[in-house]
Amino acid sequence: MSEAVKQALTEFNKKFDIKRIEAGVFSWNKASMKVLEKNGFKLEGILKKAIKKENKYIDEHMYAKIK
């Protein structure tokens, strides 16, 4: 998955002049956090109870990559 994200970012950067890319991850999804971190994303903060799913509120970890 890390390689797929890397390739997607490469293509995205070729087509668009974007300075910032964000990704939100559920608090329990450690694998996705690692994939983002391996691709240069930094954790900017944790949004407490930001998402409601199946009548439960879940924290969202907000990652960003700055060009």
Q: Give the global pTM.
A: 0.86
pLDDT in the model for residue 12: 87
- 58 close to 51: Cβ distance less than 8 angstroms: yes
So what's the pLDDT on residue 67?
Answer: 84
Predicted local confidence at residue 13, as pLDDT: 86
**Six token digits for residue 65:** 């990559």
List, for the chain, all residue ranges whose pLDDT scores fall below the cut of 50: none
The helix/strand/coil state of 55 is coil
What's the CATH superfamily of 2-66? Answer: Gcn5-related N-acetyltransferase (GNAT) (3.40.630.30)
